[in-house]
């Protein structure tokens, strides 16, 4: 996870990261793998793809899933 954090800081300056377990069925067999769920805000699709490309290479993955949802980020410091 530390290497992932280094990549994210370099590309975005900040992030939220959670450890997760991914799973799917393949020929009737349950397959599972360790996964990282990364939340980013105020960025571009190009920056996300560049970081994902680096993670594919660094962690020798066949792919990295990118899910984009329109959001608005705001920090509230109280009244």
Average pLDDT of every residue of the chain = 93
- Number of structural domains the chain divides into: 1
Residues spanned by the domain of 44: 2-58
Per-residue pLDDT of the chain (79 residues; tens, 9 = 90+): 899 999 999 999 999 999 999 999 999 999 999 999 999 988 999 999 999 999 999 999 999 999 998 888 888 999 8
State the Cα–Cα distance between residues 48 and 43, nearest whole angstrom: 7
Please write the tens of the pLDDT for every residue from 69-78: 888 888 899 9
Query: 37-75 burial string, b = 16+ CB within 10 Å, else e?
Result: ebebeeeeeeebeebbebbeeeeeeeebeeeeeeeeeee
Examine residue 17 and state whether it is found in any structural domain, yes or no: yes
Examine residue 65 and state whether it is found in any structural domain, yes or no: no
């Amino acid at each position: 996870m530390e290497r992932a954090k280094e990549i994210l800081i370099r590309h975005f300056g900040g992030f939220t990261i959670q450890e997760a377990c991914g799973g799917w069925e393949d020929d009737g067999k349950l397959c599972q793998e360790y996964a990282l769920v990364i939340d980013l805000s105020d960025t571009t699709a190009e920056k996300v793809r560049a970081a994902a490309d680096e993670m594919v290479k660094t962690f020798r993955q066949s792919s990295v899933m990118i899910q984009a949802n329109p959001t608005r980020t705001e920090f509230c410091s109280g009244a």
